[in-house]
Chain A
Amino acid sequence: MSGTWISTRAWLLMLPLLVVMIGVIGWPLVDTVRLSFTDAKLVGTTGSFVGVDNYERMLTGSSFQRALVTTTWFAVVSVAAEMVLGVLAALLLNQRFRGRTALRALMILPWALPTVVNATLWRLIYNPEYGALNAALTQLGLIDSYRSWLGEPGSALTALIIADCWKNFPLVALIALAALQAVPRDITAAALVDGAGPFNRFRFVIMPYLAGPLLVALVLRTIEAFKVFDIIWVMTRGGPANSTRTLSILVYQEAFSFQRAGAGASLALIVTLLVTVLAAAYAALLRRAAGAS
Chain B
Amino acid sequence: MERQGPLFTAFVYASALLLTAVVLAPVIWLFVMSISPAADLSAKPLNWWPSEIDLSRYRTLLSAVENSAGAAFIASLMNSLQVAGMATLAAIAVAVPAAWAVSRTPAVSWSLYAVIATYMLPPVALAVPLYMGLAYFGLLNSVFGLALVYLTILAPFTTWLLKSGFDAIPREIESAAMIDGARLDQILRLLTLPLAAPVMATSALFAFLLAWDEFFYALLFTSDLRAKTLTVAIADLAGGRVSDYGLIATAGVLAALPPVLIGLIMQRALISGLTSGGVKG
Contacts and interface: CB of A to CB of B under 8 A. Distances in A.
Please indicate whether A and B come from the same complex rather than being unrelated chains: yes
Contact of A255 (B2, B95, B124): B124
Interface string A176-208: 001100000000110010000000000000000
A9 B101 contact: yes
A132 B129 contact: no
* Residue in B24, B101, B128, B274 whose Cβ sees the most chain A Cβ within 10 Å: B128
A42 interface: yes
Contacts of B45: 135, 138-139
Given A10-B108, A106-B24, A189 B2 contact: yes
Interface string A112-151: 1111110111111101011010010011000000000000
A233 interface: yes
Interface in B223-240: 230-231, 234-235, 237-239
A32 B128 contact: yes
A188 B97 contact: no
B108 A11 contact: yes
Contacts of A20: 90, 94, 151, 155
B235 A234 contact: yes
B125 A268 contact: yes
A111 B280 contact: yes
B271 A174 contact: yes
B209 to A, nearest CB: 8
Interface in A91-110: 92, 95, 97, 99-100, 103, 105-110
A14 B107 CA distance: 13
Contact of A166 (B13, B20, B22): B22
Given A120-B238, A130-B42, A178-B275, A108 B133 contact: no
Interface stretch (A22-30, A58-66, A72-80): A22-30
A123 B15 CA distance: 27
Contacts of B281: 115, 220, 224, 227
A263 to B, nearest CB: 10
Give the interface residue-count category, chain B. Answer: 35 or more
A248 B234 CA distance: 20
B29 interface: yes
A117 B108 contact: no
A159 interface: no
A13 B101 CA distance: 6
B108 A103 contact: no
A237 B33 CA distance: 24
Given A92-B12, A120-B238, A224-B281, A112 B46 contact: no
Nearest to B107: A7
A116 B231 contact: yes
A1 to B, nearest CB: 9
A13 to B, nearest CB: 4
Interface in B39-60: 41-42, 44-46, 48
A291 interface: no
B7 interface: no
Given A6-B105, A119-B238, A124-B33, A171 B274 contact: yes
Contacts of B249: 121, 124
A114 B213 contact: yes
Interface string B205-247: 0000100110110011000000000110011011100000100
A89 B19 contact: yes
Q: Is the interface of B mostly helix, strand, loop or mixed?
A: helix
Contacts of B6: none
A238 interface: no
Contacts of B179: none
A27 B151 CA distance: 14
A161 interface: no
Contacts of B133: 27-28
Contact of B130 (A28, A139, A226): A28
Contact of B115 (A17, A89, A109): A17
A120 B252 contact: yes
A272 B125 contact: yes
Given A13-B98, A108-B267, A114-B231, A233 B219 contact: yes
Contacts of A247: 122
25 contacts: A13-B97, A20-B155, A25-B118, A29-B121, A32-B128, A35-B129, A108-B267, A109-B260, A112-B209, A114-B212, A115-B213, A120-B234, A120-B252, A124-B249, A171-B274, A178-B272, A189-B2, A229-B216, A233-B235, A234-B235, A247-B122, A255-B128, A264-B124, A271-B125, A272-B122
- Closest A-B pairs by Cβ, 7 of them: A112-B263, A135-B46, A31-B129, A13-B101, A17-B98, A10-B105, A28-B129
Interface of B: 1-2, 9, 12-13, 15-16, 19-20, 22-24, 26-27, 29-30, 33, 41-42, 44-46, 48, 90, 93-95, 97-98, 100-102, 104-105, 107-108, 111, 115, 118-133, 135, 148-149, 151-152, 155-156, 159, 209, 212-213, 215-216, 219-220, 230-231, 234-235, 237-239, 245, 248-249, 252, 255-256, 259-260, 262-264, 267, 270-272, 274-275, 277, 279-281
